[in-house]
Amino acid sequence: MTQNAASQKVALVTGGGQGIGRAICRGLLHQGMIVICADIDLEAADETAELYANLGTIKACSLDVADEPVVQGCIQEIIGEFGRLDVLVNNAGLSTPFNDPIEDLSLEDWQRYLDVNLTGVFLVSKHAVPYLREQQGSIINIASTRAMQSERDTEAYAASKGGVISLTHSLAISLSGEVRVNSISPGWIEVGDWQKSRTRIEPIHSPSDLAQHPVGRIGKPDDVAYMVCYLATDVAGFITGQNFVIDGGMGIKMSYNDS
């Protein structure tokens, strides 16, 4: 470990290989941080690391956030190589919110959503906190607007993301004065063109898709990444235990079907 590396902030981004996570990795690199791009899809993580290698130090690693020994090993590897951890972004999660109707939703599927989306946040935070505490660091959890609003048949996803918000404010109090903890709830963020090259698609949206958002467009991964970058810095030092909704104004829009 070089002297310069020892003075740089180190950030771990789970689910960093694609979508919002990829944008977060790029944003934190622009802030001069060393970034660990951790993803269960190592192909995606490697591609992200290669894509942004010119921006700074970024390392790809394979990580299943629901597997505690793997999580613990990942954190120890980071500390062994870089000697510190300043920022944790818990972004990894099952992103498809649509499940079977409740009477057909299997316990296995229900549990998998909780294991990845909620228990994963707990496990990575648990093993990262001792090192974040040393740096007066920051945790940013990626939740969802579906923690507050729902479409049909999204029980497992909504419950897991609601748990992320509750875990966020609980951790913020437990870690008072040591680690700041906040969450972000994105709305409709288009990630099709932020996937790994093998599965990337060019998004196509209708005028009504855009117009239904008060800001007149669908969200981009950078919209979330900018907020992560703000919360990760000392200028946000008076902010903890908060959930920030980034949804283009959809959450405040009153909508009725025309009769």
Interval 137-160 mean pLDDT: 94
Find the angle CA(230)-CA(234)-CA(240) to the nearest 5 degrees.
Answer: 75
Evaluate whether 152 touches 194 at the Cβ level (below 8 Å): no
Mind listing the pLDDT tens digit for each residue in 66-125?
A: 999 999 999 999 999 999 999 999 999 998 766 789 999 999 999 999 999 999 999 999
Interval 162-184 mean pLDDT: 98
Interval 226-243 mean pLDDT: 98
What one-character DSSP code corresponds to residue 177?
Answer: T
| Of 31 and 209, more confident | 31
pLDDT value of position 60: 98
Sign of CA dihedral 194, 43, 46, 21: positive
* Domain boundaries defined on the chain: 3-250
The length of the chain is 259
Interval 12-29 mean pLDDT: 98
pLDDT value of position 95: 81
Give yes or no: 157 in active site: yes
Rounded percentage of the chain residues whose pLDDT exceeds 90? 84
Catalytic residue among 157, 226, 230, 256: 157
Confidence of residue 5 (pLDDT cuts 50, 70, 90): low
pLDDT at 144 over 90: yes
Closest to 86 measured CA to CA, from 50, 140, 26, 44: 140
Mind listing the pLDDT tens digit for each residue in 185-211?
A: 999 999 888 888 788 888 888 998 898
pLDDT at 1 over 70: no
Q: What does residue 190 show for φ and ψ, rounded to 5 degrees? A: -80, 120
Residue where the block lists tokens 């970024």: 58
Sign of CA dihedral 190, 15, 40, 241: negative
Averaged pLDDT of the chain: 94
- Euclidean distance between the first and the last CA atom of the chain, given in angstroms as a whole number: 67
The structural architecture, per CATH, of the domain 3-250 is 3-Layer(aba) Sandwich (3.40)
pLDDT value of position 193: 87
- Spatial strand order of the sheet with 58-62 comes to 58-62, 34-39, 10-14, 87-90, 138-142, 180-186, 243-246
Evaluate whether 16 touches 39 at the Cβ level (below 8 Å): yes
Interval 221-233 mean pLDDT: 98
**How is residue 135 written in tokens?**
């740096």
Burial zone of 174 (CB within 10 Å; 0-12 exposed, 13-18 middle, 19+ buried): exposed
Confidence of residue 133 (pLDDT cuts 50, 70, 90): very high
Q: Is 47 helix (H, G, I), strand (E, B) or coil?
A: helix
pLDDT value of position 195: 86
